[in-house]
Amino acid sequence: MKKVEAIIKPFKLDEVKDALNEIGIEGITVSEVKGFGRQKGHAELYRGAEYAVDFVPKIKIEIAVSDELLGKVVETIQNTAKTGKIGDGKIFIIPLDEAIRIRTGEKGNEAI
């Protein structure tokens, strides 16, 4: 099992969620986060004054997947979240030792 964490642009969330649903992903966790990468934030104008926005708003999606679905999930996120512009985000794949469904006690792939 793996945990997939994807940092994407906020306006891409619905599109990514729908695409993941189409390939059979039944559960995701979504968080509103802020951060920066190579772009180091950006400048904005407010009432005629320019100011720096150091942290850019992003969406973090977390999904626990079986090893068999990993490639399909990563490909779906990558293709759906891509705009071709700076700040499209990142995908992180983390080993997941165990998953337990609290309600039933199921473990492993059955829990996800």
* CATH number for the domain that contains residue 93: 3.30.70.120
Structure tokens at 21: 């649903």
What is the number of structural domains in the chain? 1
For residue range 20-68, what is the model confidence (pLDDT) as tens digits? 999 999 899 999 998 877 766 666 566 677 666 677 889 999 999 999 9
As a three-state string, the secondary structure of 7-21 is EECHHHHHHHHHHHH
- The answer for 108, left when phi > 0, alpha when psi is -120 to 50, beta otherwise, is left
Helix (H, G, I), strand (E, B) or coil at 81: helix
| Antiparallel, parallel or unpaired: β 49-53 and 56-65 | unpaired
pLDDT band for 82, please (50, 70, 90 cuts). Answer: very high
Q: Which domain holds residue 61?
A: 2-110
Around 64, how many Cα atoms within 13 Å sit in the side-chain half-sphere? 14
